[in-house]
Structure 1
Amino acid sequence: MSLRVCIVDDDEPTRQILSELIRESDQLELVNSYADTESAVENLPKDCPDVVLMDINIPQINGIECVRRLKPTLSHTQFLMLTVYADANHIFAALAAGATGYLLKGTRRPQLLASIRQIAQGGSPMSAAIARKVVQSFAKTENERPDFEELSPRERSVLDLLSKGYLYKEIADNLNIKLVTVDTYVRRVYDKLQVNSRSQAIAKYLKR
């Protein structure tokens, strides 16, 4: 039985290359291909794919937010991020949103095909550089774990939204607070968790 695959990427040449790759495989079936996340959010629940190849840098609704919105409905669908972003911010935001795999664009065809099969079978395929960053982030000892009890309810809400890939403006809109207030909360979170960046805060939050 073929695995049902959908593609979400606003770059037409990339969609064509991925579509051809899937069509050439006798183990995969291309169900649909989307150039924007608005269409994906609306139609993917009808497609019921086994695997979705998701880009991140997409206008309007980015790929991470698209996964976050779809995952509750498509609980059995596996989202495999396929992107140029190799930084910890995007990696952890995507995983927190519900992605179970993370590959960099430029991944060789045999590896990409193997990763699609792997993720459908319960694996979490990642490019070597991505896996290394994940391991490094979780290589802290237990006594280095922060005390999240020190965070106020509002600081926890801000940190939770940060981990889901929200931008500062989106956090402000979501919590109905000013942008400068979000910045204040974020700095307090950094101080209490003893971190210096968003990626470090998210890594500790996911490890809690």
Structure 2
Amino acid sequence: MKPTPVPETAATAAITVWLVEDNRSFSRALTRVLGRAEGVTCARVFSTAEDLLEALADQPGPDVLLMDVQLPGRSGLEVLPAIREASPKTRVVMLTVFDDPDKVFRAVCAGASGYLLKTATAERIVESIREASAGGAPMHPQVARLVLDQFARLNRPRHDAYHLTPRERHILELMTEGLTKKEIAARLDLSFHTVDTHLRNIYAKLHVHNSSGAVAKALRERLF
């Protein structure tokens, strides 16, 4: 299917926009919105990612690309790396009816400049185009919350994965501060033998053989 050209409404438009959307009614509605927006020109509309990539091979990309996540053939997420390679300066804003955390996170990691739900108001979409063109990262508040939660989950300390007890985590933390077994025993009011037993358990759970290995793993994997 050939892409549908959209006539410019303002010759001096500062921001050139391309739209990739297979839902015809939504595409027409959004095109009308962009046609009325000051300083924005919706220059081309595509219904598939394949048509978009073909166009990018023949001409410079737009300032901002609005692209649906779910497309026939290759999805918007799938072609993001190819778009970045073909047109590095183009800012890509994903449009979707879904707020799936995994898809949102994958889009951000793949280089999307923004992520909006299709339920966003016309004003918000136009504002997001301007924001993306200026180097910002427009994102629906609900989507932003999902991204932050996903980053927090990935950066969460992994001590639970090794089943360390609270006492073992505390001892491991003191080890990273450079305390010896004797100093740890004094700090925690424990016997040297008790601390030594805890250390052997820590080594076994972390799959290391000595204190330096335990400290290195604790710091590398942020275990506390």
For structure 2, the residue ranges without an aligned partner over 5 or more in a row are: 1-12, 160-224
1:114 aligns with 2:96: no
Which whole-Å CA distance do the structure 2 matches of 1:103 and 1:89 have between them?
A: 15
Could you give the per-residue CA deviations for residues 81-105 of structure 1, whole angstroms, max 9, x where no partner exists? 0101201111011112221100001
1:40 aligns with 2:52: yes
In structure 2, relative to structure 1, the CA distance for the partners of 1:21 and 1:141 (3 Å cut) is: closer
1:6 aligns with 2:2: no
For structure 1, the residue ranges without an aligned partner over 5 or more in a row are: 147-208
Deviation at 1:139, TM superposition (A): 2.7
Instruction: Report how many residues are paired.
Output: 146
Could you give the per-residue CA deviations for residues 87-129 of structure 1, whole angstroms, max 9, x where no partner exists? 1111011112221100001101111111110011111111111
Which whole-Å CA distance do the structure 2 matches of 1:142 and 1:52 have between them?
A: 31
Q: Please tell me the root mean square deviation across aligned C-alpha atoms, in Å.
A: 1.8
In structure 2, relative to structure 1, the CA distance for the partners of 1:18 and 1:41 (3 Å cut) is: same
Deviation at 1:36, TM superposition (A): 1.1
1:54 aligns with 2:67: yes
2:108 maps to a residue whose letter is L
Deviation at 1:44, TM superposition (A): 3.1
2:33 maps to a residue whose letter is L
Q: Secondary structure at the match of 2:152?
A: coil
Task: Select the structure with the greater relative contact order (CA < 8 A; seq sep ≥ 6).
Answer: 1
Which whole-Å CA distance do the structure 2 matches of 1:62 and 1:12 have between them?
A: 17
In structure 2, relative to structure 1, the CA distance for the partners of 1:145 and 1:74 (3 Å cut) is: farther
Aligned residue in 1 for 2:98: 85
1:144 aligns with 2:144: no
TM norm structure 1: 0.66
Aligned residue in 1 for 2:164: none
In structure 2, relative to structure 1, the CA distance for the partners of 1:44 and 1:18 (3 Å cut) is: farther
Could you give the per-residue CA deviations for residues 38-76 of structure 1, whole angstroms, max 9, x where no partner exists? 111110351520000000111111111122211112110
Which has more radius of gyration?
Answer: 2
TM norm structure 2: 0.61
1:13 maps to a residue whose letter is S
Deviation at 1:145, TM superposition (A): 5.9
